Structure 1
Amino acid sequence: MAHDLQEVLQKSFVETNGDPRQTIRAVCAWDFEQVRQDPATILQLATLVLARDHRGAMKMLRQAYAAYDEAGIQAYQAILARWGATLRAPFTAELMAVTLTALVEGLAIRHLADPEAVPNHLFGNAVIALIGSVVDTGQNHEHIDDVITPLADEIMLTYEVARIDSLPEDPRSAIIAAARAEFAARGYFATTLAHISIRAGVPLSVLKQLFPSKALIVVKALRPQFDELRSKIDDDLALLVAPAVIVKRHLGRLASFAVCNQDFVEAFLMLVAHETATSPEIAVEVRRELDLPSVMTPAIKLGQEHGVFVSTIEAYELSAALTNSLLLRCFTRRDDDAATHAEFIHATCLHGLLSRTNHATPM
């Protein structure tokens, strides 16, 4: 099927002079006819209804759908590459394949029962509508919700005045929770204060009074956990815990901080990196409020003074290297847990700081 679909796609590109609308309609017409006439369409429905508890039958059904999806993935990736486009989150080529496979099969089955309700061109028109929403030709890393942002904003303006009288009981917490959800769905840069306002149920004017910028939301969201990290280090220092032990404990806490606050920590890293070049004053303020390397610095400095850490590099710079390495690993290996992240950095990075028994050579 994959080979046939690719051939139909290529032929359609030529016959329609590259017009994406006609290409999609031609491919969809072919696909709809294939599914409508394929005896397997009814067989698969019967299997799902009558043999859902039969492991062998369901395994074969899943394999069949996987083959359909793979054919679709190859076709959609080819189309996107030709158009120089991407898909709006949360859609991927895989999710598109599943969606369109389910859509064409559902329409084909409905057509068999009620042809007048499902004309042959309906699938093509539905895909055109879906593609128009899902495909991002500007490669702006947009979210599917952005398609109706103008409509949503207009509707929300209608309720702006009324909402002032029905604010959430704790608007700050509502805003922070909404920001977390929006950053997770769109990413930090694609999220606007208006997006957060709508999700939080807080008028934009009120939100700006509480949080004039996205950066401030990130700072306020992470500040309590940041203060806790510093407090625990201070306790360890006061209790005369060995510097190497303090650093190892802190790496574990920092990894948990990053994993549990993934969306905000990622936003923090991105805004610091970006704002350093575009708005240095914001970057300086954020770094001052959330100076993560400074938390571990006293322990490393103490270790240097006692000969536990042999590096002569400034303690803050060493702390920054360990902190940045750990945070980077948390966001490039998202399937690992916090303990794994911390242990890896401890084993590979911190080991180079430890004094050797027989020869302590300055780094």
Structure 2
Amino acid sequence: MPDNNSPWGNKGGGGKKPGQNPWGSQGKPDRNRPKPGEGSPDLDNVIQGFKNRVRTGGPRGPRGSGGGNPNGPLQKFGPFGIAAIIGLFFLLMTTIYTVDQQEEAVVLRFGEFNRTAAPGLNFKLPSPFETYIKEKTRVVTKTTIGGNDNTSLMLTGDENIVDIDFTVLWRINDLKNYIFEVDEPAVALKAVAESAMREIIGRSELENIITTERLNTTIAVRDLMQATLDEYGAGIEVVEVQLQKADAPDGRVVDAFRDVVDATQEKETLINEATAYQNTVVPQARGAAAKIIQDAEGYKGQVVAEAKGEAERFTLILGEYKAAPRVTRQRMYLETMEDVYKDADKMMLDTEPGSGVVPYLPLNELNRNRGAN
């Protein structure tokens, strides 16, 4: 049976001899072509087999048959079926999505809020039934306000002008409200921050703003911003407000206010030094006073106790004297002499007067002992 799939007709018959090429060699052998039976593949059959495989999706038939598998795995669906399968595959792929650790996602069903998705692998209905929006809710965003005359110049409570530059640190704390409640939340945040700063500055004096009340100003602005954003339902948490610059407008006034700031800082330094000195000296003085009081209390107790002891002793001696006056007088005399001479150098002479013997007194020893004492 002729091979109709070959572009050159029947290889083995049809009026052409074996080895005849398609360009009409008229039976003359081609020197560059391998001879039949040497085992080299025929180029025409290789090309034809590749075409059959692509067209049918199956393996090429036996060599020389020129045909493939007419019932390939995708051929039975046709081009529209293949397109439908590919579309279904991509549609199923839209049901799976991931949310990063720093993000949250809201799922919309037919454009309306349905639920909030946590970080990790999540599933939803295929698009366009459900879609999702992701935002970074655990990242602090920085917004800088100021830098030009329109937003940085503000009027203070004492009718002065101050040049303010500040930064707002914020993050998303309610993704649903952040997306649906306020149009362009970042723009709204900037407007609320500028308005809150102008209101707080309008209540304060210029000198306090640029000197000692900078921290209190930022805290008041943060609280007012948070209250306003909560009232709007913006889903934003104000983490911190940082005051970058608070100066008088450029000109000679700036130098004067800088001198005021320097003087105020020097004043605060001197006050801190005086306070430190006070905290050192006052406790020492109080300790010394307490010591003196305690010594006086101790001396008082000692004197009172000694006086009471002497009075008690005198009372006891008086009782003894009434009982035996002579003995008591003798005893009192001896005790008094003992107290008087107990630290003196003494020498006892046991001789009868008028015996004619002159006593020897060791004056050198007495003088040496007196000098040592």
* TM-score past 0.5 threshold: no
TM range (shorter): under 0.3
Q: Larger Rg: 1 or 2? A: 2
Q: Select the structure that is richer in strand.
A: 2
Q: Select the structure that is richer in helix.
A: 1
